[in-house]
Structure 1
């Protein structure tokens, strides 16, 4: 009898060991029969129920998994052996929308891990209790203007279909297509769907999550090997063909880390690539990052989107909607309905604001990811394993693509002026004004070009400061004279010298922008005090603008000249002459104190860098 009990115990241990070995290798399906057989032999062992429940959860058999996790908790009520059983049970109950029961087990998990408040599971429990309260309050809140529908079976098969998006009205998506060995990227051709260029779908890797640059010249996508190591690739369009894909730089693809989910966007005029990565120096697990895109698909250093977006949990599948300046992404951390929910965060020109849950019907209690939306915000796609998704034998095993349509735009258009964009990029406020002495440069001339550069005219101008003080304070006495002298000093220090200082800063900031963008356009407007006829003042404004163009051609060993001649730096002239002169400025030739030497008149003799546009 003792031998028989020993033999049974030994056999149970062998079944358990084999099951755990398979679990550790990721073979959850194969682990199930070993653990199930062991439970038949001895159903009183909490370990067996725990590993069986875990395997059931991993293969998406959630109903049976719930029963097994509850059995673990009944055998180990204080959570001494498996304190995380209540954690996994709460996760599954969230997915099924059973928020009240989920909250009970989140509270139990919090208690189980109370001695380690810095642990991930403790912090996750606290967060999910709040998230359950959110879900309960918003459970019946539903946007009636938005309808969501499952795409037909020509797109959605019994395996995972995901990452649907459009480019130039063509539909693309990724799929394992009916038990294929690799994920491939598909495109709709007429009424059929077929894999895109085989140079991208190489059949030796999983290829998925595609995105185009705005001009359609580059295609970014994720490529993963059989060991689940993912990196971001790109291919260039060459006529009707695509070049052999290459990995993007080490700024994004870092050794021993995964980078995936590329999405092209533009922040304050700067082209960027958003992506997800699990760098060890991030905020948590998978974080959302962006890297500036330079010419020829080179990149700046990756920038983490910060703790408003990223958490100690997973944030994935970013999509930037340029018209609304909203970043859409999925997260397991922020208040939601279970699994991954879709959120948006508005880019205000400086940083990303607190994320907002898109709520129902965009979100469900299941995993909702890969949000994409049309330019006009009235339709789009998302990926979800919610009720209604296709499956072979177990519901919710696999994600499908869903299309949503809305009677009202889901996002508002945000227009950011070129001046705001330039200020965000450089810190310089436009217009940038530069000032001139009366009828300078080249006085009494109808020429429109000059040989002098602006700084040369500046030095001549500041040498006249004492003359301005003398002429403007003439006939004034005591306090009035002191005030007038201070006005001239302030004009020369703040406006004239300050203008040159800002020009030097502008020049410094312009250099990296020229390396980053294909074309930069600068608009310079001219103004003149109303002492001469309008046509003369127009030519005078042209001469003043030309002195600045001359400066850009000569300064810093002709650094900018190559960009000007190649058309990468385009300078537009807009001379307005007297037409735009301030009516407060005097045109009395006999009263030079007011018409030449007064601050009111001096302020009119200027040119302005009014606009900088990046292309």
Structure 2
């Protein structure tokens, strides 16, 4: 070997040895900084390491972790994907989960949904563990988001508060015309859920009014590793409570302290006893409120016996802060995740808090739980734009103004650090009103209703009223739904039968996901829709719902048409009994001018079902219990319109779909549809749309007076058709954009 080649080899060997030495050094430093909570410094070490080697999966994983903890969600998503592409969660179990989480934090909800479905299968080996429960919850949350993201709270924002900075501001509080908040440079979150930092202390500051520019530190401590935040005041204003956290990420470090405040001087700081500050637990984020006619301390803690991570509790204060009752958990609010930053509004009787578990838009969302009938109720999301795809916490109210903290990307520091935001709810607008004849009409509430559509409801095979040719049913949809979900174990067993052992779990998860994603979601959508629909009817607006039917092709087509009619009938039955029959007066109005709720049925049956769904009655696995077949057995509320908005909607067909059964292609047919004017004004035919040259149509009338009936004929020549056939004509009326669709179906031979 030449001396030149020897020199080259020695150089390469020396460089590799040198590089390996430095990569390991950088890697260990980055790991150490992560353990200490200095994620930013850890990222700097990883950047240096990546200049040498950016391909090793261990390095990619550590970098992704640091980016997530530093709240750089966009870049964290990129590196979690690189990790998962290399090891598919075989080395790092949570790589898929965190990839899904970053997708959601970045607002990519559809992609997050698909990944959470994969997570649910991946972690199905232990359905009691957090990863499986959280993946299931997030899957349902993403389904909720599909429609929730179209709604928004009616608020006005002020995002430029003078005390916000490039550092981190959080935990706002107003008392005695002073604005208090906590501030921290390099915002990061410890395992306890408390916001702390390695190099800088979290402290409490105040301003003489929120518009003041003079910032004052409330008090200082000697310890460099003790962080104070989350101030709250006793009802008489004499005592303060706040969180004190020591910088220790590996064991509980947060407690609630109390002190006396005299002329802005903090005196006699003391720790609350172990009734509140339970040993071996983090206890933090206090808020004092007038609740249940008493002075009460709300707080967050991960004490033993809770539902998950940090839970919310409240304790009655006695003897001016010298005694505290045993804490009570807020059961309907607490979850397997984390509930933090409580604030009880004694005027509106609502508990506000943040959670990373309940259905939300990102990491931590803001929620409220109304206190009704001596109990806190199911949490309600405060919606966009109050919430964001990031972390929204520490909401408080002062008069009509709300304050909260968020690391949303609108502030100066992207998502790394938090600022304080403020908003007001806009005065309640008249969302819907009927004005004089020539004046405009607002349809905001109608738009809100249609945002909730379609509402899709699913059924078990041949339900309700199996083996029947009836077109109506006495079964309510909720009865049908409850019977359906009881069959989940049977669906799992049948759908997974004959599969290899390693495939059985995936098949069972497919069935479970179907019921979560479609069946259960349909019921939740129906409940939300009915509340809005009732509100609209109570505003004296007559409306018409268009409900379309489907069925999987197991029975004959004429049978399935009747089956879909029974399914639509079950929805009507549900409306009849909803909230003790509150819809009855709209479904069956006593007077001609009464507010009406009309149901326009479109029972298409099998003719629009996917042709690849099995219609073999001997193949029950695929024709009944498969996910594909189950997806076809449904009805949809497809649209809602005002009766006075579109005169075509006043023209109704006694039978909108006629099934002709088996017909010969050599016989030309004349089919009669009976139609009726169900409105208050005359209806004039403008035209009849005939999309197919094989059809023609004529009407026996040009104008129908209210309550009059008439006949519309459809002429059909089936000479060029064989098998299943669906044909339609469209009846347009004057001053109308939406036609009445009339449909025939047949088996042509």
Equivalent residue number for residue 650 of structure 2: none
Say which of 137, 141, 156 aligns to 2:164.
156
* 8 Å Cα contact 1:163/1:174 also seen in 2: yes
Equivalent residue number for residue 182 of structure 1: 201
SS of residue matched to 2:215: strand
Matches for 1:150-299 after TM superposition, within 5 Å? 150-152=159-161, 154-176=162-184, 181-189=200-208, 191-198=212-219, 205-227=226-248, 229-238=253-262, 241-299=265-323
Measure how far apart 1:128 and its partner are.
0.4
Q: Count the aligned residue pairs.
A: 402
Q: Does residue 1:90 correspond to 2:100, yes or no?
A: yes
SS of residue matched to 2:308: coil
C-alpha distance in structure 2 between counterparts of 1:17 and 1:201, whole Å: 31
C-alpha distance in structure 2 between counterparts of 1:201 and 1:11, whole Å: 38
Equivalent residue number for residue 131 of structure 2: 121
C-alpha distance in structure 2 between counterparts of 1:70 and 1:240, whole Å: 51
Equivalent residue number for residue 325 of structure 1: 349
* 8 Å Cα contact 2:169/2:182 also seen in 1: yes
**Quick one: structure 1 residues 307 and 169, their matched pair in 2 at CA, closer, same or farther if it must change by over 3 Å?**
same
C-alpha distance in structure 1 between counterparts of 2:350 and 2:100, whole Å: 32
* 8 Å Cα contact 2:77/2:102 also seen in 1: yes
CA root-mean-square deviation: 2.9
C-alpha distance in structure 1 between counterparts of 2:312 and 2:165, whole Å: 29
TM-score w.r.t. structure 1 length?
Answer: 0.60
**Quick one: structure 1 residues 308 and 409, their matched pair in 2 at CA, closer, same or farther if it must change by over 3 Å?**
farther
C-alpha distance in structure 2 between counterparts of 1:366 and 1:340, whole Å: 7
Q: Does residue 1:101 correspond to 2:117, yes or no?
A: no
Equivalent residue number for residue 380 of structure 2: 356
Measure how far apart 1:370 and its partner are.
0.4
SS of residue matched to 1:66: helix
* 8 Å Cα contact 2:299/2:313 also seen in 1: yes
Equivalent residue number for residue 72 of structure 1: 83
Equivalent residue number for residue 583 of structure 1: none
C-alpha distance in structure 2 between counterparts of 1:9 and 1:177, whole Å: 34
* 8 Å Cα contact 1:231/1:253 also seen in 2: yes
Q: Which has the higher contact order (CA 8 A, sep 6+)?
A: 1
CA deviations on 1:407-449 (whole Å, 9 max, x unpaired) are 2389xxxxxxxxxxxxxxxxxxxxxxxxxxxxxxxxxxxxxxx
CA deviations on 1:29-80 (whole Å, 9 max, x unpaired) are 3333554455555554322211111112222332222221111111123x21
SS of residue matched to 1:255: coil
Measure how far apart 1:22 and its partner are.
3.6
Equivalent residue number for residue 514 of structure 1: none
Measure how far apart 1:239 and its partner are.
6.4
Larger Cα-atom Rg? 1
Give the structure with the higher percent helix: 1
* 8 Å Cα contact 1:379/1:404 also seen in 2: yes
Measure how far apart 1:82 and its partner are.
1.7
* 8 Å Cα contact 2:219/2:266 also seen in 1: no
SS of residue matched to 1:175: strand
Measure how far apart 1:316 and its partner are.
0.2
C-alpha distance in structure 2 between counterparts of 1:10 and 1:407, whole Å: 61
Equivalent residue number for residue 57 of structure 1: 68
Say which of 388, 408, 411 aligns to 1:389.
411
**Quick one: structure 1 residues 33 and 263, their matched pair in 2 at CA, closer, same or farther if it must change by over 3 Å?**
closer
Equivalent residue number for residue 408 of structure 1: 427
Equivalent residue number for residue 91 of structure 2: 81
* 8 Å Cα contact 1:283/1:306 also seen in 2: no
Measure how far apart 1:257 and its partner are.
1.9
Say which of 10, 17, 31 aligns to 2:42.
31
TM-score w.r.t. structure 2 length?
Answer: 0.50
Measure how far apart 1:306 and its partner are.
4.1
Measure how far apart 1:288 and its partner are.
0.8
C-alpha distance in structure 2 between counterparts of 1:14 and 1:227, whole Å: 24
Q: Give the gaps of 5 or more residues in structure 2.
A: 1-8, 188-198, 430-749
C-alpha distance in structure 2 between counterparts of 1:185 and 1:15, whole Å: 36
C-alpha distance in structure 1 between counterparts of 2:299 and 2:217, whole Å: 22
CA deviations on 1:507-547 (whole Å, 9 max, x unpaired) are xxxxxxxxxxxxxxxxxxxxxxxxxxxxxxxxxxxxxxxxx
Measure how far apart 1:404 and its partner are.
0.5
* 8 Å Cα contact 2:317/2:325 also seen in 1: no
